[in-house]
């Protein structure tokens, strides 16, 4: 790390050491787990338009195309493991310095690293919901069913997006078969928020509650391009709550942040944990 980043991380260590931190994480936190982000240095340019809820539910051809891509993408997302950044966040929470975690990610890696009570703004790809009966089932079960009815489907992904949507050649989509709910025959959908859907109000409300009670809102790996996450930074700034951002590249939250650290999360966060090795909830004031 260069001198400027070292000084910024030292300041961040002071803030986090005071406790009362709320984390807002984005796709950049998961890049070191092999999941590309959307806009950062490791991101792959998305060639296809993101699936909207309206298209998914109304267009059978588009729905088949989505499931073929998502079935391939799940092989990457489902096999991903937490990286040093996820583990550092979980450790800070275990020590009582982090009071809440809000994530825009749908990969479940915060929980896999040991974090608890994570607000998943956009849901989780590991769950499948039936739009008719509301039944929730594990993604692994659906993957087994899709493998069984698509034994000859041998396409390979050109690229994977952070939402698990793979890029593949259109000719590879021929013959892919979609399955429905094994209970009621209804339409299945990943339990994630599509474009055109709104984040469930309870999740938004809980996130604002966490931010309102924070000393510091720490943004990790998000460009804050979309309002879904940026609104919490705006609220924190309005309420006089400190904002710190650690991200590779520029973000739309920079005007509102007291600290903007442009450095790899997999380096900054473990160093932060090491520097706070002697800090406990008792002397952190939380």
Which residues are annotated as part of the binding site for Zn(2+)?
Answer: 130, 133, 181, 184
d(CA 20, CA 211): 10
Give the sheet arrangement for strand 188-192, strand by strand.
Answer: 136-138, 123-130, 188-192
Which residues are annotated as part of the binding site?
Answer: 130, 133, 181, 184
Catalytic residue status for 71:
no
* Closest alpha carbon to 124 in 73, 164, 181: 164
> Which of 71, 86, 110, 122 is labelled catalytic?
122
Burial class (CB within 10 angstroms; exposed 0-12, middle 13-18, buried 19+) of 278 = exposed
Burial class (CB within 10 angstroms; exposed 0-12, middle 13-18, buried 19+) of 96 = middle
- The number of beta carbons lying within 10 Å of the beta carbon of residue 170 is 9
* Closest alpha carbon to 185 in 127, 142, 126, 131: 131
| Residues recognised as catalytic | 122
């Amino acid at each position: 790390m260069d001198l400027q980043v070292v000084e910024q991380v030292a300041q961040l260590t002071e803030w986090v050491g005071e406790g009362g931190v709320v984390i807002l994480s984005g796709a950049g936190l998961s890049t070191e787990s092999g999941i590309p982000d959307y806009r950062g240095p490791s991101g792959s340019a998305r060639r296809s338009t993101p699936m909207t809820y309206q298209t998914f539910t109304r267009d059978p051809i588009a729905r088949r195309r989505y499931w073929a891509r998502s079935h391939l993408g799940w092989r990457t997302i489902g096999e991903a493991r937490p990286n040093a950044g996820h583990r550092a966040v979980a450790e800070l929470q275990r020590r009582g310095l982090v009071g809440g975690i809000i994530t825009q990610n749908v990969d479940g890696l915060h929980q896999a690293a040991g974090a608890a009570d994570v607000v998943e703004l956009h849901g989780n790809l590991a769950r499948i919901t039936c739009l008719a009966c509301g039944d929730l089932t594990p993604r692994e079960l659906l993957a087994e069913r899709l493998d069984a009815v698509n034994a000859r489907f041998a396409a390979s992904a050109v690229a994977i997006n952070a939402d698990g949507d793979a890029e593949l050649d259109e000719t590879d989509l021929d013959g892919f078969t979609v399955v429905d709910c094994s209970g009621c025959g209804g339409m299945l959908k990943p339990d994630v928020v599509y474009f055109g859907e709104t984040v469930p109000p309870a999740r938004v409300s809980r996130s604002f509650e966490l931010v309102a009670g924070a000393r510091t809102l720490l943004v990790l790996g998000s460009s804050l391009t979309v309002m879904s996450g940026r609104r919490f930074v705006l609220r924190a700034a309005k309420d006089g709550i400190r904002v710190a951002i650690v991200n590779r590249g520029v973000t739309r939250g920079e005007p509102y942040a007291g600290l903007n650290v442009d450095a790899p999360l997999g380096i900054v966060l473990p160093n932060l944990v090491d520097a706070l090795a002697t800090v406990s909830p008792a002397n952190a004031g939380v």
